[in-house]
Amino acid sequence: MALILGAAVAADHFPGLPLRISELGASAGLNLNFDRFGLTLPEGRIGPEDPALTLSPDWQGTPPPLARFQLAERRGIDLNPVDPRDPDQVLRLKSYIWPDQPNRMARTEAALSIAQPLVDPGDAGDWLMRRLADPVPGRIDFLYHTIAWQYFPDTTARTCRAAIDRAAARATPQAPFAWLSFEMDDQRPGAPVLLRLWPGNIAMPLGRMDFHGRWFRFARNPAP
């Protein structure tokens, strides 16, 4: 949900440019296919005509301007990625879903039905340095992580931040950079969804989201 919103806001800000997405802590890479998911908003549904699954959270507030988006490339990194083609690893993935949450299981199974091995094994910092080293003109470099940064060792977090700072410094209107984070803070409930855009160093708090996507509270003024 947060990924769809963030991508749609980035596409609105940089019209006409597809996204080159990079995910830190991607596990099985199910979220790397978020362009195949539908999202029901107060104003109607956005997403593909034949979504693999449709998310229908409880909304509070008004969404920011959103645009249709396309993904030009997708890749993720994880220390120990789950292979969505391996039945044993898929069973392990499903075992982490609580038995009293059948909706989460249904969404996971729908996402697995289109999953591909798109996640590289390794350290997030080293991978991100390489991934963002050469921006591609005509693409939005769209980086995101969801409840992952807190688990990075200090050295990994510092390297990731250095890669982000370099990507932000060299961003141009023809090769912009977007960074979406959904990470815990000291408030409850849920966690903040923050989008940053370059050039311009624009910080856009999109709102707060439930950890399992059951609700989203839009920020009162997400626009820069």
* 9-39 per-position pLDDT tens digit: 999 999 999 999 999 999 999 999 999 999 9
Model confidence pLDDT, tens digit, residues 41-85: 988 889 999 999 999 999 999 999 999 999 999 999 999 999 999
Question: CA-CA distance, 115 to 30, in Å (whole number)?
Answer: 6
Does pLDDT of 152 surpass 70? Answer: yes
| Residue 182 bridge partners (DSSP) | 146, 193
| Residue 21 bridge partners (DSSP) | 74, 142
Question: CA-CA distance, 193 to 170, in Å (whole number)?
Answer: 24
Q: What angle do CA 160, 217, 10 make, to 5 degrees?
A: 45
Supply the pLDDT for residue 221: 64
Question: At 165, which helix (H) or strand (E)?
Answer: helix 154-170
Nearest to 190 by CA among 211, 206, 215: 211
Asked if residue 2 lies in contact with residue 209, where contact means CB atoms within 8 angstroms, the answer is yes
Supply the pLDDT for residue 224: 55
User: In the structure encoding, which two tokens stand for residue 168, read together?
Assistant: 């932000």
Supply the pLDDT for residue 223: 54
Supply the pLDDT for residue 131: 97
Does pLDDT of 2 surpass 70? Answer: yes
pLDDT bucket at 220, cuts 50 / 70 / 90: confident
Contacts of 199 (CB under 8 A, 6+ apart): 171, 172, 173, 176
Does pLDDT of 125 surpass 80? Answer: yes
Model confidence pLDDT, tens digit, residues 78-124: 999 999 999 999 999 999 999 898 999 999 999 999 999 999 999 99
For residue 185, CA distances in Å to 85, 121, 207 come to: 35, 28, 13
Model confidence pLDDT, tens digit, residues 163-208: 999 999 999 999 999 999 999 999 999 999 999 999 999 999 999 9
Asked if residue 197 lies in contact with residue 38, where contact means CB atoms within 8 angstroms, the answer is no
